[in-house]
Amino acid sequence: MDEPFLVILLKAAVVVFVLITAFAYTLLWERKLIGRFQARYGPNRTGPVGYLQPLADVVKLIFKEDFVPRGANRLLFQLAPLISVFAAVAAVAVIPFGETIEVFGQSVSLYGADLNIGVLFLFALSGLGFYGLILGGWASGNKYSLLGSARTAAQLVSYEVAMGLSVIGVVMMAQSLSLVDIVRAQQDAVWYVLFQPLGFLIFLIAAVAETNRAPFDLPEAESELVAGYHTEYGGLKFAMFFLAEYVNMIIVSALGATLFLGGYAGPVLPGVVWLGIKIAALLFLFIWLRATLPRLRYDRLMQFGWKVLLPLATLNLVITAIVVALGFPN
């Protein structure tokens, strides 16, 4: 369906606004939840019950000094956070939030683009986003930042493969790489998490590692590497890395909900609301893991990725291939 350029522009503006707002209040929600997990209150001073804390944080970061370290590669140092943010925000273009609706007589689809290679597009952007982290660490001219970026590269290679294999099982069942087609296939049957429980578990574990979240936050382990790849960053550049991390969490949660939990499909409530509920549930899992589990040792992280997760993902793929070849669940 072809839409006027103005409609596409307005859709992009609305999605970016919602994404940035979701980032701000996901961060606030995380800080409040972790406070409760640790028997304290969390942010509660700025605005009613602390709900203006994200705005205060943004204002603070805007007025921080913007500097470039003496030994840094100036161009790459400034480019790295932009790459990370671009890759994170661009990924939302293929996430379907619902079917087509009518707005002032104009048909508007609730997704940016229905690509027939939507899953591959997301994985390509995921790899591009990691270039921002790796370049940021290398260009800083700081040994701690360099170690953080090296860990990022190793972690990406270790867990991207398992995540890809877990997603291929869903693609084989839906017979499509389009995320819209995958949601529609689940509307006609049942959620794929019931057919792919092992694949869903592998996807969740790999997603936590891909987003550098606890207990897989080795690239920015503050007890070892000061702050990892963004040690030398401050002000808005630091905020951009922070934005990319939380937007990636939201995108990965949206992808998990779309692939395994039926996406926007659900009874009574609008599709956008259903997708929001599923994303919020997966984000809560991210926060719960951070509050509960200690950081893994680096060699254990690598061993788990290659010796446990990859064989399980391969086994899940083989079983799925046999089941699909036998004509189930058609």
Residue ranges of the chain with pLDDT lower than 50? Answer: none
The share of the chain scoring above pLDDT 90, in percent, equals 47
Tokens read off for 37: 């997990």
Give the whole-angstrom CA distance, residue 8 versus residue 24. Answer: 24
197 prior amide bond cis, ω within 30: no
DSSP state of 219: G
Give the whole-angstrom CA distance, residue 150 versus residue 298. Answer: 12
DSSP state of 268: S
| Radius of gyration, alpha carbons of the chain | 20
Q: How many CB atoms lie within 10 A of CB 7?
A: 15
Q: Which residues partner with 101 through β-bridges?
A: 108
Nearest to 266 by CA among 107, 99, 115, 22: 99
Q: What's the confidence (pLDDT) of residue 208?
A: 94
What type of residue sits at position 127?
Answer: G
User: Does residue 110 contact residue 82 with C-beta atoms inside 8 Å?
Assistant: no
Task: For tokens 């700081």, name the residue.
Answer: 142
Q: What's the confidence (pLDDT) of residue 317?
A: 95
Q: What's the confidence (pLDDT) of residue 2?
A: 67
Nearest to 151 by CA among 249, 224, 228: 228
Q: What's the confidence (pLDDT) of residue 268?
A: 84
Side-chain-side CA neighbours of residue 201 (13 Å): 11
Q: What's the confidence (pLDDT) of residue 7?
A: 82
Side-chain-side CA neighbours of residue 39 (13 Å): 0
Give the whole-angstrom CA distance, residue 229 versus residue 61. Answer: 18
Greatest CA separation for the chain: 63
54 prior amide bond cis, ω within 30: no
Query: String of b and e for 90-117 (b: at least 16 CB within 10 Å)?
Result: bbbbbbbbbeeeeeeeeebbbbbeebee
Q: What's the confidence (pLDDT) of residue 63?
A: 87
